[in-house]
Amino acid sequence: SITDNFTRCLNNHTNPSFPISEQLYTPDNSSYPSVLQAYIRNLRFNETTTHKPILIITATHASHIQAAIVCARKHGLLMKTRSGGHDYEGLSYTSYTNQPFVIVDMFNLRSIHISMEHETAWVQSGATLGELYYQIAEKSNTHAFPSGVCPTIGVGGHFSGGGYGNMIRKYGLSIDNIVDAELIDANGKLLNRKSMGEDLFWAITGGGGVSFGVVLSYKIKLVRVPPVVTVFNIKRVENLSYIAHRWLQVADKLDDKIFLRMTFRVVNNGEKTIQAGFPSLYLGNSTNLVTLLKKDFPELGLEKSECIEMSWIESVLFYAGSFPIGTPITALLNRKPQSLNPFKIKSDYVKTLISQKDFELIFEKMKELENQQLYFNPYGGRMSEISEFSKPFPHRSGNIAKVQYLVNWEELGVEAEIRYLNFTRVMYDYMTPFVSKNPREAFLNYRDLDIGVNSHGKNACAEGMVYGHKYFRKSNYNRLTMVKSRVDPENFFRNEQSIPPCSSND
């Protein structure tokens, strides 16, 4: 069978000092379901109907990945790479085509080496953000790294797609703080920044690793934080349309040490109402924070009693949302999320103000639908200083905020899925007048197959532009296709939204 031939090839292509045979899981292995499910983070893709791999390779050595690439190419198999499994559309562990595929699972490759002397760290792709944050805090209480707020996210997918967290206004995205990388290319060759060249390094810091190879590790530059930071997560239910309108006027202009997120959800106590939340981080003490917000955003009405001072690492747990204050920071090492359910997420960028009246209409629309949540994430600060061409991620100056549409539900099965997907698409359509246009931009890390899919046939270049221009804008997208043509002209590394190889004539 194809699996037998592939397995034989893997054994032939690996060094006997690093045997691969015990790292292979086929569907007839009793551990296969648990290995596959261990990093499924969206239960929409844990159904009997979900397309599953013919083999999972839980790599423990770079040579396993090299063998997987060489053998998958030889046997015409599609290969998926999974680090933390948080892809919103499950693209690291399922496929929407019928082609047989294998997964290279990176969770064993999770070492983290920190040099406090150089304020840098080498982090393997299979590490989680929680592990990275924990290791940094073990060495220093005044260093940190600007990345996502969910500790179970994997470094491989997160860094290669951008990496957005609550220090972006001070330090930018994760990719703005990456200084080197190790990548295994389509020929199975292990490259670093110097040997891969600046174009390919640029591509795998924001263009998604998946189109270009398997990222083995990233070298990051740590950032400095004060020993005491301040957090709060206040809720408001009154005057929301006015507060929301004011938030858009100020959130991207506040002191860059303030990250003030604004979230809305529907609460149903017999009557549906909107509740706003403001989960926030300030890189400084509460006295300064309250002074700044009383001056620049008095409508929020923040009181000092609502603020909590703590170390940066404690703020990571606080911001993750579901850990009570006082939870030991070893909780960051837990690889299992606290809850799992089916969900759908979409994204947008806001570049102009939304009036108070329009916010009222948006809230009414949310109430008509079910389970809608909107998160407004402020930009500005460091994000406006970095050129839109510096990395494939183009959403820099000119953006007030990124909107995240989130809907999650409890019921399993296709019927519930169709219903909730429809709700969130209605909400997204409703927001059209208030968000970026031509193209309507989106954030790669918030993968959304609604904005375009590639079948990688003869129209691959035209299909790629549909989602590519939204994630990267035209110029960055064109550069990504050029890099792709050079490093993977046969398009071995691909998924439903990867970069196709295109020439300037396509």
Residues designated as active site: 446
CA distance 264 to 54: 42
Q: Is 125 in the site for ligand FDA (CB under 6 A)?
A: yes
Q: Is 160 in the site for ligand FDA (CB under 6 A)?
A: yes
Alpha-carbon distances, residue 447 vs 46, 398, 450, 471 (angstroms): 18, 22, 9, 9
DSSP sequence for 337-400: -S----EEEEEEEE-S---HHHHHHHHHHHHHSSS-EEEEEE--THHHHS-TTSSS----TT--
Residues in binding contact with ligand FDA, number by CB under 6 A: 34
DSSP conformation class of 501:
P
**197-216 binders of ligand FDA (CB under 6 A):** 209-210, 214-215
Between 106 and 332, name the residue whose CB sits nearer to ligand FDA: 106
CA distance 72 to 438: 39
CB of 87 to ligand FDA, least distance (A): 3
CB of 244 to ligand FDA, least distance (A): 21
Q: Using CB under 6 A, which of the segments 24-32, 145-153, 241-249, 363-371 binds ligand FDA?
A: 145-153
CB of 86 to ligand FDA, least distance (A): 3
Q: Which of 245, 470, 242 is nearest to 352 (CA)?
A: 245
Between 290 and 350, name the residue whose CB sits nearer to ligand FDA: 350
Q: Using CB under 6 A, which of the segments 147-155, 185-193, 243-251, 279-287 binds ligand FDA?
A: 147-155
Q: Is 46 in the site for ligand FDA (CB under 6 A)?
A: no
Between 264 and 493, name the residue whose CB sits nearer to ligand FDA: 493
**213-252 binders of ligand FDA (CB under 6 A):** 214-215
- Token readout for 274 is 């909107």
Q: Is 156 in the site for ligand FDA (CB under 6 A)?
A: yes
CB of 208 to ligand FDA, least distance (A): 6
Please classify residue 251 by burial: count the beta carbons closer than 10 Å to its beta carbon, then call 0-12 exposed, 13-18 middle and 19+ buried: buried
Contact string 161-190 vs ligand FDA (x = CB under 6 A): xxxxx-------------------------
CB of 127 to ligand FDA, least distance (A): 10
Identity of the residue numbered 232: F
Q: Is 84 in the site for ligand FDA (CB under 6 A)?
A: yes
* Other beta carbons within 10 Å of 147: 28
Sign, Cα dihedral of 389, 133, 119, 257: positive
Angle ∠(369,371,373) on CA atoms, nearest 5: 100
Pairing of strands 271-282, 229-236: antiparallel
CA distance 189 to 391: 24
Q: Is 92 in the site for ligand FDA (CB under 6 A)?
A: yes
Q: Using CB under 6 A, which of the segments 146-154, 275-283, 312-320, 366-374 binds ligand FDA?
A: 146-154
Between 150 and 435, name the residue whose CB sits nearer to ligand FDA: 150
Of these, 7, 78, 87, 136, which contacts ligand FDA (CB under 6 A)? 87
Q: Using CB under 6 A, which of the segments 80-88, 94-102, 304-312, 475-483 binds ligand FDA?
A: 80-88
**436-455 binders of ligand FDA (CB under 6 A):** 445
Which residues have C-beta within 8 Å of that of residue 289, sequence separation ≥ 6? 230, 258, 282, 302, 307
Length of the chain: 506
In 81-197, alpha helices (H)? 129-139, 155-161, 168-171, 193-196
Q: Is 132 in the site for ligand FDA (CB under 6 A)?
A: no
- Give residues in contact with ligand FDA (CB under 6 A): 41, 80-88, 91-92, 106, 125, 148-150, 153-154, 156-158, 160-165, 209-210, 214-215, 445, 495
